[in-house]
Amino acid sequence: MWSEGTIGIPNADGTNTIYHYWVKHYEEGSQFGINGGRISKLTLKVDGKVTCNYDRGWDVKPEDEHTKIAYSILLNSYN
In angstroms, the CA 32 to CA 30 distance is: 5
pTM of the model: 0.93
pLDDT at 26: 95
Length in residues, the chain: 79
Q: Classify each residue of 13-39 as buried b or exposed e, where b means 16 or more C-beta atoms within 10 Å of its C-beta.
A: eeeebebebebbbeeebeeebbeebbb
Residue 33: pLDDT band (50, 70, 90) is very high
Q: Classify each residue of 44-65 as buried b or exposed e, where b means 16 or more C-beta atoms within 10 Å of its C-beta.
A: bbbeeeebbbbeeeeeeebeee
Segment 43-64, tens digit of pLDDT:
999 999 999 999 999 999 999 9
